[in-house]
Amino acid sequence: MIKSLRQLAGCVLIFACLCASAQPAFLARKPSATVAPVADRFLPTVPTTTPVPKPAPSGMVWIPGGEFSMGCTDPRADLCGGNEPMDDARPVHRVALAPFWMDRTEVTNAEFARFVAATGFITFAERKPRAEDYPGATPDQLVPGSVVFSPPREAVPLDNALRWWRYVPGADWRHPSGPNSTIVGHDQDPVLHIAYVDAAAYAAWAGKRLPTEAEWEFAARGGLTGARYTWGDELTVNGRWMANIWEGAFPHKNSEDDGFIGIAPVASFPANAYGLHDMAGNVWEWCSDWYRPDGYARDQSAAGSGVVRDPRGPAESESFDPQEPGMPKRVQRGGSYLCTDQYCTRYMVGTRGKGAVDTGSNHVGFRCVRDASPVAP
């Protein structure tokens, strides 16, 4: 069976829901006996006391780094815990990170437009696919485009995501729903239809990089220990929705209880304790790590069951997705406005997603990080 354009039949499953030359001193210190990991238990987050450099980069917030418990326990017994065991997010393990800066919000249409205006960059979705990259594709399939959420009119079984996803010629970051749509008036929406190469190009232009998966989770937790969500353990707070996710019957009826039926402008919901908005829901965010479901166990084994220091994920050649063997994928985090406890609860802070690097959609975006400058003695 041939693979269709942009690996459509497989890429929809991704939603199922620059290393430093010298290691920072914090990462090089010996593990403390007082923070030895305990299987699938969360131990307190211990932030560093590194002074915050001044001035802060525009639009970024300081993430102190430190030691924390990374991962997710099986949420299925929880209220609104969904039906996925999240096996790829275990074992819960201790990780140590150096401090860094992170974008306060997801990269917006306005920010990405400045990048394109300055560089002439053409995103993956805007490029005509090469026949040699998609053997067996017919000429009419070799047209620029991207994957768009297309809700059915009535309830459908949730066993085949192709019932609500389709490849739309002409869909791209400027035309998120297709060639007749526009981002005019949506400057503060997160930019969409961003493949990994697009996000990496923007980050390099901005003097930043994409976060590692561990950096992303540490930042999303905001100093909380083992919480289900970036804001705590309850899905709503005093009846208020804290993220842009799907309410109602998925995929055909969104009740809009959180105020949005689709993408929300960035910072429409409260920030976490580190000042970061939308670390749950709205759009999936690219991380720099290659994905494999046993990545945490491999990291912990390599660390001798001690603290894992500044993990960067496996090599591309080691990336593995059991749903699509042979297709390397990068990690995505945070879930999106389409996540729901009926189908995908990956807005939970410790859970993981993944995506083919040549694939974007109208619920995938990104944010960037920047290494902390050394503090003068």
Q: Concatenated DSSP letters for 299-325?
A: HHHHTTTS-EES-----GGG---TTST
Please give the residue range of the domain that contains residue 272. Answer: 5-17+104-291+313-371
Nearest-angstrom CA–CA distance, 77 and 86: 12
Q: Is residue 65 part of a domain?
A: no
Per-residue pLDDT at 102 = 98
Rounded to two decimals, what is the model's pTM? Answer: 0.89
Instruction: Tell me the C-alpha to C-alpha distance, in Å, between residue 66 and each of 98, 180, 218, 277, 307.
Output: 6, 47, 9, 21, 11
Q: Is residue 44 part of a domain?
A: no
Per-residue pLDDT at 39 = 56
203's enclosing H/E stretch is: helix 196-205
Nearest-angstrom CA–CA distance, 133 and 147: 18
**What is the per-residue pLDDT across 104-155, written as a single tens digit (0 to 9) for each?**
999 999 999 999 999 999 999 999 999 988 888 888 889 999 999 999 999 9
Closest by Cα among 288, 344, 281 to 80: 344
Name residue, tokens 């993944």: 354
Nearest-angstrom CA–CA distance, 347 and 326: 27
| Whether the Cβ atoms of residue 94 and residue 67 lie closer than 8 Å to each other | yes
DSSP β-bridge partners for residue 145 = 169
Tell me which DSSP letter residue 192 carries: -
**What is the per-residue pLDDT across 53-91, written as a single tens digit (0 to 9) for each?**
999 999 999 999 999 999 999 999 887 888 899 999 999
Q: Is residue 377 part of a domain?
A: no
Q: DSSP 3-state assignment of 286?
A: strand
Q: Is residue 87 part of a domain?
A: no
Closest by Cα among 129, 288, 128 to 197: 288
Q: Is residue 39 part of a domain?
A: no
Nearest-angstrom CA–CA distance, 107 and 67: 27
Please give the structure tokens belonging to residue 209: 């990089």
Q: Is residue 36 part of a domain?
A: no
Q: Which residue has the higher pLDDT, 1 or 65?
A: 65
**CATH code for the domain in which residue 206 is found:** 3.90.1580.10
How many structural domains are present in the chain?
Answer: 1
Q: Is residue 67 part of a domain?
A: no
Q: Is residue 81 part of a domain?
A: no
